[in-house]
Amino acid sequence: MSEHSPDPSTQRLHLIFDRGAENASQAFSRWLGHNVSLQIGEVDRVGLAEAVDAMGPGETLVAACAMEVFGPLDGQLLLIFEDQAGLSLVDLLMRMPLGTSRSWGELEQSAARETANIVGCAYLNALAHHLPGAVGSLVPGPPLFRHEFVGSLLEFALQDQAVNSDELLLIRTRFRATSDLLEWSLVFVPSGASVVKLSQILSPRDLG
Amino acid sequence: MNPASQTQPETIVSVPIARWATVAAPSCLRTLLGSCVGVAVYDLTARVGGLAHVLLPDSRGQTDQPGKYADTAILALVAEIEAKLKGKPRSRLVAKIAGGANMFATTSAMSIGEQNVLATESILSRMDIKILARHTGGETGRRMTLDPKTGVVEIRIPGGGDVTL
């Protein structure tokens, strides 16, 4: 949860995105063949500098798969792994001992992209199902793999929101499998227009 | 005054997104860029320099976040450097720029990096500040560090080598 006391629409948003995260967690578990647990789900409304540091020090090198989200709510969906955790994910998928994969070759990148596709679809399907008013299908674009500074990734993903607002919305979920070392994060950054739409969808008169 | 400008001697001052900072040698300035543009302006003789982390190309008259936009950020950056120079001529100021990547080419934000670079070049040109070097575009983030003592700008690319401008 955010440090600030969340308003009702943020609480509602939190509940809905938690449903998405639960669905993604189940898809993750089936895909990996290991239990993947949901660790933390956070809905943050923060300033620019704080948003860019939301995943830790900006210079942290991460592997990430980015999917553009299309549909009534658009934006960016990022599956982010710290290097070693990402390579361990590949080892789990390939049924190899942890530590076997040591660099991001084509095979490793392909495994990460496929994981992002499966987890992203499950997440967005659940969101579309649980958002009030039957918003319609949310469709992810093809995942793009990047080995990147985490701060640069978030800066880019947040740019559309930053055009019209200095308070930014990002939704983070952390997953864990097998051990503390195997953690990944899923980050949804709605576009500026989608933030407005979400506030309309979740306005008090629609909360029943 | 921009809060990021408060410095300690012989330190690397981090410049957050949509902010700027100025220092005198031996302090250095550093920022992390994606589609944003880093604008380093310095006076090598005075060993004074500044770095702006520009998020968007045009303020469209907005004044509440000057560091966010190329037009307002560069004006503020140069004004702060000039204040540090205490009357020395602006003609000694030169610039180096970096950033403006298009990290995920399918996004609606695909052209913002390029727009940031173009706006930065245009504003510096109007201010008669020559751009000595640039490292812009591409698909990767950059870590940019300015040393006002030498005018050297170091660029670090994730997973790649360093580039010196």
Per-residue model confidence as pLDDT tens digits over A40-89: 778 888 888 888 888 888 999 999 999 999 988 889 999 998 888 889 88
Q: Are strands A167-177 and A61-70 parallel, antiparallel or unpaired?
A: unpaired
Query: For residue B109, is pLDDT > 80?
Result: no
Residue pair A154/A54 in contact (Cβ under 8 Å)? The answer is: yes
All residues of chain A having their beta carbon less than 8 Å from the beta carbon of residue B33 are: 152, 155
Q: What is the pTM of this model?
A: 0.86
- Do B104 and A159 make contact, defined as CB atoms within 8 angstroms? no
| Mutation site, B2, B12, B17, interface A, largest A CB count within 10 A | B17
- Least CB–CB distance from B109: residue in A49, A146, A159: A159
Most trustworthy range by pLDDT among A64-78, B38-52, B96-110: B38-52
- Do A58 and B32 make contact, defined as CB atoms within 8 angstroms? yes
Compare all CA atoms of chain B with the CA of A193 and give the residue at the minimum distance: B108
Supply the ipTM of this predicted assembly. Answer: 0.84
Query: For residue B9, is pLDDT > 50?
Result: no
Q: Give backbone dihedrals phi and psi of A180, rounded to 5 degrees, phi first.
A: -60, -20
Radius of gyration of chain A (CA): 16
A73 DSSP 8-state letter: S
Q: What percent of chain B has pLDDT over 70?
A: 90
Tell whether A1 lies on the interface with B, counting CB pairs under 8 A: no
Enumerate residues 6+ apart whose C-beta is below 8 A from A104: A63, A86, A87, A112, A145, A147
Residue pair B12/B30 in contact (Cβ under 8 Å)? The answer is: yes
